[in-house]
A and B are shown apart, each in its own frame.
Chain A
Amino acid sequence: MPSLRDQLAAAAREVPERRWATPSDIAVRGRRRTRRQRAAVVGATFLVVAAVVLAATGGLVPHRAAPSTPPVLTCLVADGTPGPAALPGRVLLGGRQIVVVDLATGRSVPAGDCGAVGSTERAVPVTHAQVTMGGPMDAVSIVDASGQRTTIGTDHSLTEAYPTPDGGFLVVRDNYPTTPDATLLRYDSNGSQVSGPTKVPESVVFAVEGVVDTGIAAGGNTDLYIVDPATGAVLRVLDRFTTWGVAASGHLIAWRPHYDKETVEFTADKQIPLRCTPSCQPIAIYDTRTGTTREYPSTTPDGRLYTSAAFSPDGTRLALATADDPASHDGSTVAVLDLASGATTLMPGIPSQGQPGGPSLTWLPGGASLIVAGTTQTGAQLLVWHPGDSTLRPAVTLTGDATSATVSALGQDDTAWTQP
């Protein structure tokens, strides 16, 4: 029996490779990236100087959205000039390219209409503004309802932003290679910094997943940590919780992995677990308010293992989905679990071919409806389900790059698009 080291070396040698970029290609891309970064610094300096001059001469009138402004998706026009292009009742679809689709009409918005959410950016909904990420400068920015953009970070550090239960957001900045840690910056709903910068160890911030009402849910891969955002201190460790998600209300879902190959039946490629014999470990829901954990079945009544999940906005229900069995292609089952009663509402037969974890699930902000992103051999289809209804309403059918779409709901509430 070869040693583990030999087995790994043999496996690494046989990894398939595509055509490599030539060294000159790498140099060209490096020069281009350097130019972009320098241009960003020059541009930011110019904007600061211009703002100072305009403010001094009375030519600049600061504007910020009123607190009553509804949370709508706003964007910039293609040339980067701020424009108040509010898009209520629409969703962002993330695939190879992010597009904006009006659920009422099924039409996508032309790319030129919304330059702020281009192919490399994504938006995080917060109460009075949108936090966008990525773009040519790897920037984290706030775009408020008036179209005004405030850039928080413009360097090439790896940054993430997460909404907080109070309507603000948290920004994580990776400090590598300067130091092996990361920095947390917390902002309120108006984009004002309320805490930080707080340095936390890399091992903790490595996989921040969201902000709960008692701290930050973060962690490595065998444990889950609750971290104090003000000090970086670890408040609680949940042992061997490896997968988790956070509801807008601050509830936490956590799940212990099941590696026992004797009881888990995988797909033929050994990638996706389908069912367990005789049973699977339960899903564990950790309540950050009470500090208690409650367990729920991890399969449908007929034994199909749930492979993806999403909390309702208020944290009282959990949407779950099974993966499609490639042997039968009989579709995925979507379920809504009421966390208080344990009751489950099921909807079988959702097409989700080629989606490893089954259809992606997104609650609309009002919590009355769920968007289910199913896929077929020809493309992606967004289905709208009011849990309890006997059917799903097809909303949008997409082809091309959106075949593996996931969805971010950014509409004010579901009343904006339930009318066809």
Chain B
Amino acid sequence: MSDPPVELDFDAFYVASRRRLLGQLALMTGDADQAQDVVQEAFVRAWQHWDRLRTLDNPEAWVRTVAWRLAVSRWRRSRRAVRLYPRVAVAEASPPQGTDEELDVRAALGRLPEGQRLVLVLHELCDLSVEQVARQTGLPVGTVKSRLARGRAALADLLGSDSEEVGDAQPA
């Protein structure tokens, strides 16, 4: 049986995964507007390489990683002066949506160091194991575990709860 047409295959992938990736990238970057920009640009690059990507087990992971790299690159390129506070989200152009609790979670995530935020979202939201997070980020497994622990503790502090409650998901 022949492969389905590339165009249809990609279109279905794009429509099915873009909203999920937006949510993940928005939490990783702390900026919903930028997240949508980089997710769409990552899909453009995925379209270019679709012949190869469509054979991967998880092309969505490829798009997520490229989108994250694009976000980091934008941040690096726009940066001129040193910001002496933790890298936090800039004000969103769109009005915030969600309950107070959800906004608190996003605000708290935005105040975590990028490394902690990234591994927390990859592990807790994207359901990657610690080993998969380590492979995707290039970090040693021990570093991923320590960042998860630090991130959970910091998040618990920021959300005003104790770390056992927010840190109940165990590393894979």
User: A residues engaging B (CB < 8 A)?
Assistant: 1, 3-5, 7-18, 20-21, 23, 26-27, 29-30, 33-34, 94, 122, 133-134, 156, 158, 160, 174, 176-177, 180-181, 201-203, 206-207, 220-222, 242-245, 253, 255, 257, 259-261, 269-273, 283, 298, 305-310, 320-321, 356-357, 360-362, 406-408
- Interface members, chain B 99-145 (any A CB < 8 Å): 99, 101-103, 105-107, 109-111, 113-116, 120-121, 124-125, 135, 137-140, 143
Give chain B's interface residue range (CB within 8 Å of chain A): 35 or more
- Contacts A5-B169, A257-B113: A406 and B138 contacting too (C-beta < 8 A)? no
Compute the total of residue contacts between A and B using a CB distance below 8 Å: 226
9 intermolecular pairs with C-beta atoms under 8 Å apart:
A15-B106, A16-B32, A23-B10, A23-B15, A221-B115, A222-B150, A243-B84, A309-B84, A406-B80
With a cutoff of 8 Å between Cβ atoms, the chain A residues found around residue B125 in the complex are 5, 8-9, 12
Nearest Cβ distance between residue A132 and chain B, in whole angstroms?
A: 12
- Give the residue among A9, A27, A310 with the most B Cβ atoms within 10 A: A27
Q: Which of A8, A33, A310 contacts B44 (CB 8 A)?
A: A33
Is B84 in contact with A4, judged by CB distance below 8 angstroms? Answer: no
Nearest Cβ distance between residue B155 and chain A, in whole angstroms?
A: 7
Q: Which of A8, A27, A158 contacts B73 (CB 8 A)?
A: A158
- Give the residue among B27, B76, B85 with the most A Cβ atoms within 10 A: B85
Is B138 in contact with A20, judged by CB distance below 8 angstroms? Answer: no
Is A34 in contact with B48, judged by CB distance below 8 angstroms? Answer: yes
Is B22 in contact with A17, judged by CB distance below 8 angstroms? Answer: yes
User: B residues engaging A (CB < 8 A)?
Assistant: 7, 10-11, 14-15, 18-20, 22-24, 26-27, 32-33, 35-36, 40, 43-45, 47-48, 62, 65-66, 69-70, 72-73, 76-78, 80-92, 94-99, 101-103, 105-107, 109-111, 113-116, 120-121, 124-125, 135, 137-140, 143, 147, 150, 152, 154-155, 157-158, 161, 165-169
- Contacts A8-B105, A242-B86: A176 and B23 contacting too (C-beta < 8 A)? no
With a cutoff of 8 Å between Cβ atoms, the chain A residues found around residue B85 in the complex are 243, 257, 272-273, 305, 307, 357
With a cutoff of 8 Å between Cβ atoms, the chain B residues found around residue A245 in the complex are 81-82
Is A17 in contact with B19, judged by CB distance below 8 angstroms? Answer: yes
- Contacts A11-B106, A203-B138: A26 and B27 contacting too (C-beta < 8 A)? no
Is A1 in contact with B165, judged by CB distance below 8 angstroms? Answer: yes
With a cutoff of 8 Å between Cβ atoms, the chain B residues found around residue A269 in the complex are 91, 107
Q: Which of B27, B40, B82, B91 contacts A310 (CB 8 A)?
A: B82
- Contacts A181-B138, A202-B137, A361-B81: A26 and B111 contacting too (C-beta < 8 A)? no
Q: Which of A21, A176, A257 contacts B86 (CB 8 A)?
A: A257
Nearest Cβ distance between residue B121 and chain A, in whole angstroms?
A: 7
Nearest Cβ distance between residue B19 and chain A, in whole angstroms?
A: 7
Nearest Cβ distance between residue A397 and chain B, in whole angstroms?
A: 20
Q: Which of A5, A242, A283, A357 contacts B113 (CB 8 A)?
A: A242
- Contacts A4-B167, A33-B44: A222 and B113 contacting too (C-beta < 8 A)? yes
Is A26 in contact with B43, judged by CB distance below 8 angstroms? Answer: yes
Q: Which of B78, B92, B97, B150 contacts A94 (CB 8 A)?
A: B78
Is A7 in contact with B101, judged by CB distance below 8 angstroms? Answer: yes
Is B81 in contact with A11, judged by CB distance below 8 angstroms? Answer: no
Q: A21 vs B38: C-alpha distance in the bound complex, in angstroms?
A: 12
Is A309 in contact with B81, judged by CB distance below 8 angstroms? Answer: yes
Is A271 in contact with B158, judged by CB distance below 8 angstroms? Answer: no
With a cutoff of 8 Å between Cβ atoms, the chain A residues found around residue B110 in the complex are 271
With a cutoff of 8 Å between Cβ atoms, the chain A residues found around residue B15 in the complex are 23
Beta-carbon nearest neighbor of B26 in chain A: A15
Beta-carbon nearest neighbor of A354 in chain B: B91
Is B84 in contact with A283, judged by CB distance below 8 angstroms? Answer: yes
Q: A5 vs B171: C-alpha distance in the bound complex, in angstroms?
A: 12
Is B80 in contact with A408, judged by CB distance below 8 angstroms? Answer: yes
Is A156 in contact with B45, judged by CB distance below 8 angstroms? Answer: yes
Known: A7-B102, A26-B47, A94-B80. 5 other contacts (CB 8 A): A4-B168, A12-B27, A15-B26, A16-B97, A26-B14
Q: Which of A16, A20, A222, A406 contacts B78 (CB 8 A)?
A: A406
Is A362 in contact with B80, judged by CB distance below 8 angstroms? Answer: yes
- Contacts A7-B105, A11-B102, A12-B24: A222 and B32 contacting too (C-beta < 8 A)? no
